Structure 1
């Protein structure tokens, strides 16, 4: 968990302790089936201290005085979302009656502008609403296993000197604003997020600055929307050339969407060492098709998976994995295994963002960002629990920086945290009250609901619950 959230959490503990409540431990053991890059450790144990995994053990360590929580759950590394627009995830699903040739077509469509863009910018333009939007969007991501995400905030041009409100220190790690990886100051991150390469989305000065930062080694990843349109669309087809002309096609670039790229263009992406971020759910809603991940895979392009945004994509990473599985089975002859899909949401994006020495896998020395899930059945493939499991009944706990932030109340209570009850798809869950960046989630939701009604719409549900 970002360091300042951890401090807020500690202050909450002090308050709880003064009221006679147990102080949650910073050193603990948690048992379950560990899903690691090197294989599955049945009945294994994680030894966690001060937010970091000290050891992975095959049998329970005997450490006097240390809390040991044994479960029958599967333990996975947290998901890393490299493509999202969280500020719009407070809006309900938007379902256009037809598809589009490219993103410029729907962005310029008067219906979208009336129903989404005008309302979205009005809401996000109110600075007093930012922290409520941030908390709601982060909780929405959290319930699907995301422990790191991108895109919160409207500053896609990346203007130097601009800083986000302090609440973005967060609940989920914000990769482009604050993660806690690089100290306590905001905007020290080594990941940048951009809406596109055309002049309407990125000016020449910004492009030159990104290219310079990559050359100098101060920018590890530029995640940028490229070729978000059909292969026959003229505007989309030129974007790869523009990206390359500006010196931005290389190992430090992740191409978001890439729907319009041909096999030969994907070959160029592979040779440049760049990667793509696949968001099939939103692609099919908006364009009736998705990126040619079959060709990308054959060309050796690294592929991450992410939900885009909940108005036309999935509510969270878990559900985007399930959607991608359906596409893989129906359209791609089972191209991706369940393990590959889960890794495309965890270890792969960690490697793409060059944070794989910190998060993305369960390993000694990594930060304790992980989640616990009920297995489908004894002896079942652990990855099936995500691809086939129900998110509300399956997800038992999410930890960030060794702090339990969401999950089953009875499990969170083992760690002594103060809980705020939450109902997800009819299931009783809870949030760690001390970790919430804008205060009570019920109060945040009430304020947002009032704002959304004033805009002539409604607050999105946290999850569509299979609808």
Structure 2
């Protein structure tokens, strides 16, 4: 699929805080004083910070030293140079990076931390992903039309009200901001789907309205209803042995420069309607050079995976949501055996995981239940580079490479599997999250070392939130008050279960 120029990312709206620019340009040669009056922040046992040298107004950037997770593998004692324009400038040996950029600020966490690309959550419904699961949620639905519409004698699960960003509505901004911070704390730096707030996590969706240019940094053609709003009803005669139903042609033109990412086959393998969706879609993908992905695909089988592999169709997998609604999920063994590219995603909070690290836990459990070995590195790839690939953005996101966007997650690591560290970090193990080189979360005392006093503490989470609440005219108190009844930023105890109820035939 043709790729867009890396430099045209729509990221101009992300501005580094003034204090960060000062630190990176060497104007701030000393850390700011703390509230207690000390001239130095508390000692940090994980990272040493060296401000940038003075360079007469130039901004030489920041070098982060750590064990770095690269597409070709993990590399200890590496350095990643972050440019002030939001991109990665260089990746390589730490000493070589220091020599190449001698005036850059340095955050040296070698031997104590892992630096990973942020997770790319390839499928979400941000406008609705603040809500807890419905009390009537159960895994006995055969097709998504049953829970959506209450057909075939099944209990309807009405969606929660959707929240869409309005610059004058602080409550809506707070609810959407909490949703995004929940995902950022869980390791994600990008989510695909309609909704969200501008300037925090990287939102990805097709540009349809003027306001979308500010909200969505990058584009993918995400489609919830690729065939119709009532597929089961439309296919009732066909599934009873009658003539094949002809869906109306897609209303939108084929866009070969943009990945197509629709819901397909969201129902059990015993669902005729779900199987018919899969068959139609896999016929369509054979006639275009466009990047195609397939969201959910619960009704897919080994024969489908062979076609998906042949035509490079990525599978966007949300195991928790699949199990919570249908009691089964994809044939993960068959998909892996056929070499299908798999990307993990959370779907939405009413039935899916509350963040990507929780989705990884569910994927691990599913794999273990069916006897599939799922190494941490494989799960990490499903959460990073494969997510970017499913969205057609693998030349800009999902990896630590020169020229890619500086979407990075730094977590504590003093031994063991570095991929596990990235996949399982608790909030107290998160040292920092950068999106477009802008720090969104920083642990104490890194926030005071890098930014002075710009970061705000929120109840129940260890890292501090940097330059975000102020942008929406929110205080910590008002943010928490607006979110008293929404999914917490750092508590996954009320998410849907991850367990099989209907083993695949």
Deviation per CA, 1:169-194: give whole Å up to 9, x if none: 3211111158xxxx966668431111
Measure, in 2, the Cα distance between the counterparts of 1:245 and 1:197.
14
From 124, 127, 139, the equivalent of 2:181 is 139
Please list every run of 5 or more consecutive structure 1 residues that lacks an aligned counterpart in the other structure.
Answer: 154-166, 450-457
Picking from 259, 265, 268, the partner of 1:227 is 265
Q: Identify the residue that residue 87 of structure 1 maps to in structure 2.
A: 127
Q: Judge which range, 49-58 or 75-84, deviates more.
A: 49-58
* Other structure's SS at 2:252 match: helix
Equivalent residue in structure 2 for 1:151, among 189, 193, 196:
193
Maintained 8 Å contact 2:182/2:354 = yes
What is the alpha-carbon distance in structure 1 between the residues aligned to residue 225 and residue 470 of structure 2? 32
Task: Report what 2:237 is aligned to.
Answer: none
- Pair 1:398 & 2:406 matched: no
The 3 A distance-change label for structure 1 pair 115 and 285 is: closer
With 66-75 and 240-249 compared, the bigger mean Cα shift is at 240-249
| Distance in 2 (alpha carbons) for counterparts of 1:206 and 1:391 | 47
For 1:205 and 1:190, locate their aligned partners in 2 and report how far apart those are by CA, in whole Å: 25
Structure 1 residues 149 and 98, CA gap change in structure 2 (3 angstroms): closer
Query: How much does 1:374 deviate?
Result: 1.4
Stretch deviating more after TM superposition (414-423 or 28-37): 414-423
Give distance in 2, aligned partners of 1:408 and 1:206: 51
Counterpart residue number, 2:147: 106
Contact 1:31 1:44 in 2 (8 A): yes
Contact 2:10–2:218 (Cα < 8 Å) also in 1: no
What's the counterpart of residue 317 of structure 2? 278
The within-5 A match list for 1:67-466 is 67-71=105-109, 72-94=112-134, 96-109=137-150, 116-117=158-159, 119-121=160-162, 128=169, 130-153=172-195, 168-176=197-205, 189-200=218-229, 207-210=250-253, 212-214=254-256, 217=257, 219=258, 221-244=259-282, 252-334=291-373, 336-375=374-413, 377-378=414-415, 380-387=416-423, 389-416=424-451, 418-424=454-460, 427-434=461-468, 438-440=472-474, 442=476, 443-449=478-484, 458-465=485-492
Partner of 2:14: 6
- Rate the CA distance shift 1:21–1:193 in 2: closer, same or farther, 3 A: same
| Equivalent residues, number | 426
Contact 2:206 2:222 in 1 (8 A): no
Q: Cα offset for 1:143? A: 0.6
Matched, 1:34 2:68: yes
**Change beyond 3 A, Cα 1:355–1:115:** closer
Q: Which moved more, 1:93-102 or 1:5-14?
A: 5-14
In the TM superposition, residue 33 of structure 1 has moved relative to its aligned partner by 0.8
- Give the secondary-structure state (helix, strand or coil) at the position aligned to 2:147: helix
Structure 2 residue runs without a partner (length 5+): 1-8, 33-50, 53-58, 232-245, 495-505
State how far apart, in whole Å, the 2-side matches of 1:244 and 1:333 are.
26
Higher helix share: 1
Separation in 1 of the partners of 2:354 and 2:226? 26
Deviation at 1:308, TM superposition (A): 1.0
Give the distance between the partners of 1:184 and 1:3, measured in 2 at CA.
10
Query: CA separation of 1:41/1:201 partners in 2, compared to 1, >3 Å: closer, same or farther?
Result: farther
Alpha-carbon distance in structure 2 between the residues aligned to 1:4 and 1:113: 46
Assess if the C-alpha contact under 8 Å between 2:165 and 2:197 holds in 1: no
Q: CA RMSD in A?
A: 3.5
Please say if residues 194 and 223 of structure 1, whose CA atoms lie closer than 8 Å, have aligned partners that are also in contact: yes
Q: Equivalents in 2 of 1:125, 1:363: separation in Å?
A: 32
Label 1:435 to 1:401 Cα distance change in 2 as closer, same or farther (>3 A): farther
SS in 1 for 2:75: strand
> 1:65: Cα distance to partner?
4.1
